[in-house]
Amino acid sequence: MAQHYFTVTWDQLHRDAKALSWRLHALGPWVGVVAITRGGLIPAAIIARELECRLIETVSVVTYDDENLGQPQVVKPPAAAGDGEGWLIVDDLVDTGTTAKLVRSLLPKAHFATVYAKAAGKPLVDTFITEVSQDTWILFPWDTEPQFVAPVARQG
- Reported pTM: 0.87
- Are 134 and 69 in contact by the 8 Å Cβ rule? The answer is no
Element (H, E) at 71: strand 68-76
How far is the C-alpha of 101 from the C-alpha of 127, rounded, in Å? 15
CA 64 to chain centre: 14
Annotated binding site for Mg(2+): 92
- Are 80 and 102 in contact by the 8 Å Cβ rule? The answer is no
Q: Mean of the pLDDT values across residues 98-124? A: 96
Give the start-to-end residue ranges of the domains of the chain. Answer: 4-144
Annotated binding site for guanine: 95, 138
Choices 3.40.50.2030, 3.40.50.2020, 3.40.50.620, 3.10.129.10: CATH for 4-144: 3.40.50.2020
What was the pLDDT predicted at 134?
Answer: 94
What was the pLDDT predicted at 1?
Answer: 54
**Which residues are marked as active site?**
91-92, 95
Tell which wins on pLDDT, 82 or 44. 44
Alpha-helix runs per DSSP H in the chain: 10-25, 41-51, 98-106
Q: Please give the single-letter amino acid code of residue 10.
A: W
State the pLDDT confidence band at 66, using cuts at 50, 70 and 90: low
